[in-house]
Structure formats: structure tokens, C-alpha cells
Amino acid sequence: MKYLLILMFFFVQIANAKIKVIDGDSLKIDDKEIRLIGIDSPEYFQLCKDKDNQDYECGYQAYQYLKLLIDSGIKNGKKLKCRKKDTDKYHRELSECFIGKKNLNRAMVKSGNAISYWSEKYKKLENKARKNKKGIWQGRFMRPELYRILEKYKKE
């Protein structure tokens, strides 16, 4: 019962909270930073190649898709709920998030706007998105993890 009350309090807080999408796998709820666990999406300014080998803003597209999922869900009366699984080295809550019953982590991978990351949980969805050439799988892209490493070295 005690845990149920704590969970209810947490979910109520989210329902009335200020929500900001940071990129395709990160959001902020009031002052809490949330990272969608098990997935990795292109960074906000990252470019990818489409099927015609033309650059496109895949990072911005991933951001827009996550924002659309959340905004449209809230407009339709659904609540954003996140289940914290862990905390990362940047003190972000690693969570599985839902808008209503829709699992946002799954939706991002399924749409091709994210890849499975350090987890087998979303690998089948990733393979299906790849096979159907959805999102980043339509052309070529650099894995977000590698992109972050290269960007870090550019700044040094």
C-alpha cells in the first residue's frame, strides 16, 4: 500500500509537471532529467543520409517525433508516466515512459527514430524498422554513441 501511494504521488506529479523534450531519448519533467532506457536516438544536431544519399536532420526529426507523441497524447487527455529503472552517471533517471498506454521507448525504436541501446529488449523492433527502412534506416547514419564521442573530441 505504501509503495502504491508513492507511485500514485509520482504519477500525479508528472501529470501536473512542466514537460520539455530535449532530444529523441531525453526529456525533462520539472527539474528531473529523464533518459529513455534501452534506446539511443540521433543527437539533436546530428545529420543522417536519406535513401538518395542527401543529408537530413535525423536528430531534429527524432526530437520532433518524441515531442509529437507526448503533445498529442496530452491533448487527448493521456498522462505521461515514467518508471524509473536506474540512474546514469549524469544523474538522469533511466526510465521507461508511457503516454497513456503507449510505451515511448518502444515507439521511438519502432518508428526508426532510435536504436536499441545496451539492451536486447527493443532489438526485434529495431530489426523490423531496419527491414522496413523506417526513419534512420532509410539510408545511412552514424550510431549516436559514436557521434557523441567524435563531437567530444572535436571540442578538445
Tens-digit pLDDT profile for residues 99-140? 999 999 999 999 999 999 988 999 999 999 999 999 999 999
Q: Which residue has the cell 522496413?
A: 132
Say whether pLDDT at 6 is over 60.
Answer: no
The per-residue pLDDT for 7 is 43
The per-residue pLDDT for 94 is 98
Q: For residues 125 and 63, give the distance between their C-alpha atoms in angstroms, rounded to a whole number.
A: 19
Q: For the whole prediction, is pTM greater than 0.95?
A: no
Selection from 27, 40, 32 nearest residue 74 by Cα: 27
pLDDT band at 33, cuts 50/70/90? very high
Burial class (CB in 10 A: 0-12, 13-18, 19+), 17: middle
Q: Among residues of the chain, what percentage have pLDDT more than 90?
A: 85
Q: Among residues of the chain, what percentage have pLDDT more than 70?
A: 90
User: What number is the average pLDDT over the span 141-152?
Assistant: 95
User: What number is the average pLDDT over the span 22-29?
Assistant: 97
User: What number is the average pLDDT over the span 22-51?
Assistant: 97
The per-residue pLDDT for 134 is 98
Say whether pLDDT at 14 is over 70.
Answer: no
C-alpha cell at 25: 531519448
User: What number is the average pLDDT over the span 58-83?
Assistant: 97
